[in-house]
Amino acid sequence: MQNDHVKSAQQLALMRRAAAVTDDVYDHILACVCEGVTEDELAREILSKTVALGAEGVSFDTIVAFGESGAEPHHVPTDKRLERGMLVTIDMGAVVEGFCSDFTRTFAFGDIDEEQRRIYDIVYEAQRLGVAAVRAGVGCRAADAVTRDYIAAAGYGECYIHGTGHGVGREIHEPPTLNPKSEETLLAGQVVTVEPGIYIPGRMGVRIEDMVLVGEGRPFSRHNTELLTLR
């Protein structure tokens, strides 16, 4: 029972606090977004706000990716400046009393083109279907296939270059793993991420991630996944 990564009520409460900190940090960061701000500046602000809100720290190195940098799933923030027409991907989390949160949103800064919008909509729907598929007794490979098959059917299968998600708890990455090779089965009370993405080298990327309690089906975050456009 200790190694099945099923969370106790007390552990879930800590994870919800970690997710709530991340939600509040995200609100703060959206208010900091402006033309010319750098990826680095936003990443540093995420770290300081996460600590200011009472978390022990961030749960992993924050990813902030503007425009073509979004094509790298693990982009390390640089001094790249934000311009209108870019998509922005932010992947971040907090640690509260030893428990982690993990959260990704992609939003638009100014007007985006048709391709950016199309790709956003595909990832949005894949992620929504993936969240709905995270139920007790479902194979992790089958849950992965829900997002993967949707993106492949939309024509972007080769641009989805990582697994659908992973368990989260004391560790930012823990079992079970949702990918095409997984042989695990989801158990009620586990917490997993659902985070499909599409990455177009040299152009753009979109990833949307929520933590979900298996058996509940409701994301931890209070931020919905509709496309947000900042002006």
- Interface residues toward Mn ion, by CB under 5 A: 102, 193
Contact between 126 and 193 under an 8 Å Cβ cutoff? The reply is no
Closest contact distance (angstroms) between CB of 195 and Mn ion is 5
How many Å apart are CA 55 and CA 80, to the nearest integer? 28
- Tell me 124's DSSP state: H
CA distances for 204 relative to 69, 88, 117, 179, 200, angstroms: 7, 9, 11, 23, 5
Q: Which of 12/194 has CB closer to Mn ion?
A: 194
Q: Which of 112/182 has CB closer to Mn ion?
A: 182
Q: Which of 102/144 has CB closer to Mn ion?
A: 102
In 3-state terms, what secondary structure has residue 102? coil
How many Å apart are CA 126 and CA 194, to the nearest integer? 9
Closest contact distance (angstroms) between CB of 181 and Mn ion is 17
Residue showing the smallest CB distance to Mn ion in the complex: 102
CA distances for 74 relative to 77, 151, 197, angstroms: 9, 20, 12
Beta bridge partners of 198: 206
Closest contact distance (angstroms) between CB of 85 and Mn ion is 27
How many Å apart are CA 84 and CA 104, to the nearest integer? 20
Closest contact distance (angstroms) between CB of 166 and Mn ion is 6
Q: Which of 39/102 has CB closer to Mn ion?
A: 102
CB atoms within 10 A of CB 117: 15
Closest contact distance (angstroms) between CB of 132 and Mn ion is 18
CA distances for 172 relative to 42, 63, 203, angstroms: 21, 14, 29
Closest contact distance (angstroms) between CB of 104 and Mn ion is 7
